[in-house]
């Protein structure tokens, strides 16, 4: 019997069925597998090498670059505090609102309520204040080359209300740096060398996560001052400035003393303040009206 039209006789298996065509091995199959294996090894070595180089770079200068690109400052502010213990305070205006008087004089007022009232009334420490600032390095190497008070507001001394501290004002404690806001260009000096600017002869070097604590006495008797602290920091040959504000995020406040005030309060043993007896007010401020 003849084969189908156009067909050729196929190779028969023993059982008579046509056998499948023989599968041909691709040319160079063994060398291709070897090349793939070698490429994988080389790739792994390159990845490991690049990873080691990146790790070394990240550990030395890479973190600085990342921080700079992200906008992180070379120095961060770890802590800011104003020492108001035993310090008399003056307000710009007397406290006449009933709710505010309750907060000022109330024994059950919370510290947050009282602090909010003092902030609204622009409470200022009288004559001098102690400020503590902790700065933390945020680069592998940086230097604080200058720090100075920057006055943002200057007005007449506060005479609205006088809040006397529990034990009155004492003498200034021993501190590292001092500045007088009454001078035309306030700069920090030391008690031992008050005629020389501290940062004209000294700088403060920090590394990453290293801390420095600055204890400063700021004085001002001729006016009411609102101010911040302006630090100039040198990192990688680039100078940047850092503004240091008060504990609540607003400016520091300091005022000179007044010859008289429109209201007087003294610290209450129950908390807050209490109206000051007229005799005590007249003894402290003889020029007071009705004395």
pLDDT in tens, 57-69: 445 454 555 445 5
Predicted confidence at residue 236, as pLDDT, reads: 81
pLDDT higher than 50, residue 6: no
Predicted confidence at residue 262, as pLDDT, reads: 94
Residue bearing tokens 């006495």: 217
pTM for the full model? 0.74
Question: CA-CA distance, 165 to 103, in Å (whole number)?
Answer: 17
Question: CA-CA distance, 83 to 101, in Å (whole number)?
Answer: 24
If we measure between CA atoms, which residue out of 177, 217, 182, 219 comes closest to residue 197? Answer: 177
Q: Which residue has the higher pLDDT, 1 or 260?
A: 260
Predicted confidence at residue 290, as pLDDT, reads: 82
Q: Which residue has the higher pLDDT, 86 or 127?
A: 127
Contact predicate 265/273, CB 8 Å: yes
Contact predicate 256/220, CB 8 Å: yes
Predicted confidence at residue 201, as pLDDT, reads: 87
Instruction: Specify the pairing of strand 238-244 against strand 177-180.
Output: unpaired
């Amino acid at each position: 019997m003849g084969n189908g039209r156009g067909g050729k006789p196929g190779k028969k298996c023993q059982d008579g069925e046509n056998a499948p065509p023989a599968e041909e091995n691709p040319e160079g199959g063994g060398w291709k597998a070897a090349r793939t294996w070698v490429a994988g090894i080389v790739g792994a070595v390159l990845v490991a090498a690049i990873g080691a180089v990146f790790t070394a770079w990240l550990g030395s200068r890479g973190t600085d670059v990342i921080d700079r690109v992200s906008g992180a400052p070379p120095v961060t502010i770890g802590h800011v505090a104003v020492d108001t213990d035993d310090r008399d305070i003056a307000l710009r205006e007397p406290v006449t609102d009933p709710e505010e008087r309750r907060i000022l004089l109330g024994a059950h007022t919370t510290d947050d309520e009282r602090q909010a009232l003092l902030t609204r009334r622009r409470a200022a420490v009288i004559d001098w204040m102690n400020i503590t600032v902790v700065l933390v390095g945020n680069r592998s190497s940086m230097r604080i080359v200058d720090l100075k008070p920057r006055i943002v507001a200057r007005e007449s001394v506060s005479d609205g209300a006088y809040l006397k501290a529990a034990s009155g004002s004492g003498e200034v404690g021993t501190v590292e740096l001092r500045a007088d806001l009454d001078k035309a260009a306030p700069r920090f000096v030391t008690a031992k060398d008050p005629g020389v600017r501290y940062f004209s002869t000294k700088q403060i070097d920090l590394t990453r996560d290293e801390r420095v604590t600055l204890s400063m006495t700021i004085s001002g008797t001729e006016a009411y001052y609102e101010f911040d602290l302006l630090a100039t920091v040198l990192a990688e040959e680039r100078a940047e400035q850092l503004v240091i504000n008060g504990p609540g995020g607003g400016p520091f406040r300091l005022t000179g003393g007044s010859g008289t005030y429109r209201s007087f309060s003294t610290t209450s043993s129950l908390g807050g303040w209490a109206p000051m007896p007229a005799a005590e007010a007249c003894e402290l401020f003889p020029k007071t009206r009705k004395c």
